Structure 1
């Protein structure tokens, strides 16, 4: 598994769907994952340090985990099947037992950001040689070429 961090969120200029960009902590591996608008809003809330007056859904999840004397160990994005990524949230319960819970990557990322837990991606996912997969250099060039006006339909809180 390769440790990744959230590089940011952008919008697909063709579909206007949010994309969370994960980048390896060491090296130049990038993994873009198309996600839903609500999940993107929640990620953006954490990235921008926006405080909400009441707990949102992911805050509630973290509060539930904490109240059970458990902690989030990590999240793992491990499988790609039919163009859908699969992830797990790894929780350590009060007895020290690790429990893996199936999750959508966007939900797992939201939990990881709120608990400051590491995000891991399977090495195999980063090496997938798929003709439809965007080339890393193309992503870098695209991210560097983005201008503020490209975000006119920006994600709002």
Structure 2
């Protein structure tokens, strides 16, 4: 498993759909973009920015329920990619039991952020999500473009179109 962290939220320039960007903790070139819904992106942004809602929203409520039942979110795993759909699992420990619960990645990531739990990606998911390798000179140009795009992301870009 590869441990990742949330790099941020961006918008797909074509579809205007939000994308959560996960980056490997030990390898700055390993990035996994996952297209998600607006509500989920807004919730991730709120948590990344430390904005607490006056009343519990869905993910805060879910966290409260897990804790009130004596549970603790141990980790989340982006476990598979099938037909362009990502799958995730939430690992909750309650006493000596560990529950593994199927989840959408956006929901799993939202909960991981609220619990401070690690986010892992199955290496096979990264392999499946890769686009075919371009020619060496094209690859360098693509890396340069991606690096420039990531370096030029601003907080305003993350919020654009999500409120």
Is TM-score (shorter-chain normalized) higher than 0.5?
yes
Taking a change above 3 Å as real, the CA distance of residues 130 and 61 of structure 1, as seen in their structure-2 partners, is same
Taking a change above 3 Å as real, the CA distance of residues 87 and 151 of structure 1, as seen in their structure-2 partners, is closer
CA distance in 1: counterparts of 2:104 and 2:146, whole angstroms: 23
Aligned residues: 153
Taking a change above 3 Å as real, the CA distance of residues 27 and 69 of structure 1, as seen in their structure-2 partners, is same
Q: Aligned residue for 1:93?
A: 94
Taking a change above 3 Å as real, the CA distance of residues 24 and 60 of structure 1, as seen in their structure-2 partners, is same
CA distances 1:60-115 after superposition (whole Å, capped 9, x unpaired): 10000000111001000010000000000000012x21110000000000000000
CA distance in 2: counterparts of 1:34 and 1:48, whole angstroms: 20
Q: Aligned residue for 1:7?
A: 7
Q: Aligned residue for 2:116?
A: 116
Shift of 1:45: 0.4
Taking a change above 3 Å as real, the CA distance of residues 122 and 152 of structure 1, as seen in their structure-2 partners, is closer
Question: Comparing both structures, which one devotes a greater share of its residues to helix?
Answer: 2
Asked whether 1:139 is paired with 2:146, we answer yes
Q: Aligned residue for 2:55?
A: 54
Taking a change above 3 Å as real, the CA distance of residues 151 and 112 of structure 1, as seen in their structure-2 partners, is closer
CA contact (8 A) 2:47 2:113 kept: yes
CA distances 1:108-145 after superposition (whole Å, capped 9, x unpaired): 0000000000000011112234349xx88253332234
Any unmatched runs of 5+ in structure 1? none
Shift of 1:46: 0.2
CA distance in 2: counterparts of 1:148 and 1:98, whole angstroms: 37
Taking a change above 3 Å as real, the CA distance of residues 144 and 61 of structure 1, as seen in their structure-2 partners, is same
Structure 2 counterparts to residues 67-106 of structure 1, below 5 A: 67-94=68-95, 96-106=96-106
Select which of 150, 154, 162 maps to 1:155. Answer: 162
CA distance in 2: counterparts of 1:148 and 1:111, whole angstroms: 22
